[in-house]
Amino acid sequence: MIAQYRKQFNASFSEEKYRKLILALQKGYTKIPFRVAETPVFIPASLKEQLVAAGEDIINLIKGPDFIASTQNAIPVQWNVPGENSHPHFLTFDFGVCKDEQGKLTPKLIEMQGFPSLYGFQAVLGKAYKSTFKLPENLTPYFGGMDEGEYIDLLKKVIVGPNQPHEVALMDLDAPNQKTAIDFFMTQALLGIKILSLTDIFKEGNELFYREGEQKIRLRRIYNRLIFDEIAGQIGLFKESFDPRAELDIEWITHPNWFYRISKYTMPFLKSRFVPETIFLNTLKSTPPDLENYVLKPLFSFAGMGVIIDVKASDIHGIPDPENWILQKKVAYEPVVQAPDGGVKVEIRLMYLWPEGEAPRLCINLARLSRGKMIGVRYNQDFDWVGGTIGLMEQ
């Protein structure tokens, strides 16, 4: 979107450089199972300023005195975990890049989460693009004057804290085989923490442990990457491991309840020029006559699962649990990234870290390029110049 960088990048692009990028990212880790885009996104200063402002609007709501009470119903009864802390350690906000009435670029909120994203992978990805494609040194994926060293120090402060790295584990259901495992391995390389599957952990009393050879090691913190909804039909695994809903002497980074509090559930409470009109389906008084301008989303899903793009009245009336759905005004993505054969739509994820006792800090970003009907790798498998990438900004 910064014309001079786009022109230079496209002119010097080659498939050989792209192959080198992928090889550099995978070296020493694992094969990347999702598509990495051919190009970064060059974010202009005007759009960067609006993204920062849009994020602040959301954070002001989250920090408000009524937020905990207003989102209490977001947490499913069966997944309400004890020991919730006062704020999440991670915030991620996804914005589609659109154009306003004056034809200027503007962000519109699509999704939000109080849950970790690819905090390790994105740091490596930004550096790999710059190195492979010989991009100018003044381009950065970081916000607020932050550099790589400061970012990693803050990531360590949030995830490891005062503990020893071996006392902290990144946990998922089958961690080494997750689609995002490369991020897990990169995070481990940056911070020295363990990577454990749920069943690698066992409970004695109210304490959690894992084994390293013959040694039993106590866990102090869990860097949680497990989405509990994914294991709703597999809770028998808790008998082999531990039940996270029990009273445990463990610190969650971030606490599982925040996955539900900061989600699509939050969007109807937001009033901002950067947020499309959103309403809980069970509060809908009448069906809009222009349903083609709306999208129907389940509250508790991820990666676009269950979303109804072409909404019909019968879809709305056929929902058996309208309290778990939202109706949202469609966002018109603008194809603003110029590939060699035309425009590509882009979504930018702002990624925050929120240390205990401090303010949340916007650190880095993730971007996704799309030519398909929806943003996301699964919807763009037959295209090139699409997939996961990162936004670079002038310092």
Q: What is the pLDDT of residue 220?
A: 98
Q: What are the start-end ranges of the E strands in 198-356?
A: 202-204, 207-212, 215-218, 221-224, 251-253, 278-280, 294-298, 325-329, 337-339, 342-353
For the chain, counts of helices (H) and of strands (E): 10, 19
DSSP code of 19? H
- Residue in the block written with tokens 């998922």: 172
- Shortest CA distance to 98 belongs to which of 360, 329, 379? 329
CA distance 107 to 51: 6
Token code pair at residue 355 = 């240390």
pLDDT in tens, 163-184: 999 999 999 999 999 999 999 9
pLDDT in tens, 362-376: 999 999 999 977 676
Rounded to the nearest 10 degrees, the angle between the axes of helix 119-132 and helix 181-191 is: 90
Taking the CB of residue 339, how many other CB atoms lie within 10 A of it? Answer: 20
Compute the Cα dihedral for 5, 7, 9, 12 and give only its sign: negative
Cβ atoms of 341 and 10 within 8 Å: the answer is no
Phi and psi, residue 173, nearest 5°: -60, -55
CA distance 260 to 281: 17
Q: Which CATH code for domain 160-253?
A: 3.40.50.11290
Beta bridge mates, 393: 140
Asked if the peptide bond before residue 389 counts as cis, ω within 30 degrees of 0, the response is no
Q: Mention every residue, 6+ apart, whose C-beta is less than 8 A from residue 347.
A: 94, 95, 96, 97, 110, 333, 367, 368, 370, 375
Q: What is the pLDDT of residue 305?
A: 73
CA distance 208 to 217: 9
The per-residue DSSP string of 363-374 comes to EEEEEEEE-SSS
DSSP code of 45? H
Blockwise average pLDDT, block size 10, the chain, 395 residues = 96 98 96 96 98 97 95 92 96 96 94 96 98 98 98 98 98 95 98 97 97 97 92 86 95 96 93 95 95 91 77 95 93 95 96 97 97 67 89 97
CA distance 317 to 144: 47
β 194-197/168-172 pair status: parallel
Q: What is the pLDDT of residue 359?
A: 97
DSSP code of 135? -
Supply the pTM of this predicted model.
0.94
DSSP code of 378? G
Q: What is the pLDDT of residue 312?
A: 95
Length, in residues, of the chain: 395
Q: What is the pLDDT of residue 229?
A: 80
Token code pair at residue 137 = 């040194």
Q: What is the pLDDT of residue 377?
A: 55
Cβ atoms of 111 and 181 within 8 Å: the answer is no
Longest CA pairwise span in the chain (Å)? 66
Cβ atoms of 275 and 55 within 8 Å: the answer is no
Q: Mention every residue, 6+ apart, whose C-beta is less than 8 A from residue 317.
A: none
- For residue 55, which amino acid is it? G
Q: What is the pLDDT of residue 233?
A: 81
- Shortest CA distance to 274 belongs to which of 62, 1, 55, 43? 55
Domain ranges in the chain are 1-141+259-276+331-395, 160-253
- Shortest CA distance to 365 belongs to which of 38, 115, 141? 141
Q: What is the pLDDT of residue 302?
A: 62
Q: What is the pLDDT of residue 282?
A: 95
- For residue 131, which amino acid is it? S
3-state SS, 137-174, equals CCEECCCCCCCHHHHHHHHHHHHCCCCCHHHEEEEECC
Laid out side by side, the sheet with 215-218 consists of: 202-204, 207-212, 215-218
